[in-house]
Structure 1
């Protein structure tokens, strides 16, 4: 009987906690496509439970976990992994929200998180039934798709990148490097004060009509 009472009390406290949280709203900025071979390519349905957070490599894992614990709208029982990639300057993780949220609520959450100095970028995630890597090996039971802060642009003429430099300046994005083997391709990044995140910027660059192709850096992350 005591066990049942404790469970009931915990449930009431959890519901009360969720009810007391103030989830504000901002205009939904979720994009469900990018341009592939000159056609919109559908990315999928927005996840209403998970978001991506990236922090600079200079932050140790304990500092990142302390930050996540300090945010009331995260599910602190969710077991997440802090991911690192060689030669990539950021650590990233998938955080689970304490409740299913609307796109407008998630837009506000993402914007709020960007104000924290420890956060480099935050993105929506997308639902997926595919939880395998590029060579079809399973990486988990459940995954979400998302994208990094990097996007790729293929210029019409590698010998003249004035249009690329102009749009970079306009959007406050950053040129990372030119591909050594495919000289028409350039890697760029979108940062906090860019005109938009990497997916928005990939689409924006393409829609100028100045470039042959623009694509985001899509990544898949296991959450179970």
Structure 2
């Protein structure tokens, strides 16, 4: 009888010792989604880096020649944030249009839209827009990135190096503005947009200076779209 009692007590103690305490159940609190900061951009101006702040409410877009305003608008309506389209604007590197997006469009979203539209055969380039930059003067709302940029060589003898760089970057010589100064074009087929290519050219040892051919936008009284 004593043995049975002792054995029963041993089993009870063993079971108690080996039983793990119940773990406390907690409910995970969903993490608040963090908004990604806008990417940092810059361009070279007189050998200094000038910061650029993305303005997501606008884009500059170049289209294949011959497309009507209705056809361009139809393409852009595939983007939910699209609001309206300017008439043709003339720049040194060619004709383009200003695309107005909803004001609440985020930086992340506008970069996605650029990639989406660049897949369209009808578009030759789609570039971002930035807040005004003080060294470009005053009296305008924003600066738009066209498909052109300006390059000045250190010497006219370095033209062969420039031609090799054009081939490497898939950019195009659009105009000769002086003995050592040239207008270069960067469409979506280049290795980067006009800002990226201007910075890359500027960093070459034979280049004196390279900077984008910006579009400076003002606001006419009768429209919410900029004009040159």
TM-score normalized by the length of structure 1: 0.71
Alignment equivalent of 2:99, drawn from 94, 98, 103: 94
Deviation, 1:31, is 5.3
Tell me what 2:174 maps to: 176
Residues 172-220 of structure 1: CA deviation (Å, up to 9, x unaligned) = 11111211xx311011100112110001000001112220010110112
Is the 2:92–2:148 Cα contact (8 Å) retained in structure 1? Answer: no
Is the 1:158–1:184 Cα contact (8 Å) retained in structure 2? Answer: yes
Is the 2:158–2:206 Cα contact (8 Å) retained in structure 1? Answer: no
Tell me what 2:66 maps to: 58
User: In the alignment, is residue 73 of structure 1 matched against residue 81 of structure 2?
Assistant: yes
Could you say what the CA RMSD is over the residues aligned between the two structures, in angstroms? 2.8
Gapped runs of 5+ residues in structure 1? Answer: 1-26
Alignment equivalent of 2:46, drawn from 27, 37, 41: 37
Larger Rg: 2
Is the 2:118–2:125 Cα contact (8 Å) retained in structure 1? Answer: yes
Q: Classify the secondary structure of the residue corresponding to 1:48.
A: coil
Is the 1:28–1:107 Cα contact (8 Å) retained in structure 2? Answer: no
Q: Distance in 2 between matches of 1:197 and 1:31?
A: 15
Deviation, 1:108, is 1.7
Q: Distance in 2 between matches of 1:61 and 1:117?
A: 16
Is the 1:56–1:91 Cα contact (8 Å) retained in structure 2? Answer: no
Return structure 1 stretches of 4+ with deviation > 6 angstroms: none
Q: Distance in 2 between matches of 1:54 and 1:115?
A: 13
Is the 1:202–1:214 Cα contact (8 Å) retained in structure 2? Answer: yes
Tell me what 2:16 maps to: none
Deviation, 1:87, is 7.4
Deviation, 1:56, is 2.8
TM-score normalized by the length of structure 2: 0.70
Tell me what 1:147 maps to: 145
Residues 129-162 of structure 1: CA deviation (Å, up to 9, x unaligned) = 98xx97x7x67xxx22112101111112213311
Q: Distance in 1 between matches of 2:63 and 2:113?
A: 16
Q: Distance in 2 between matches of 1:195 and 1:156?
A: 23
Gapped runs of 5+ residues in structure 2? Answer: 1-35
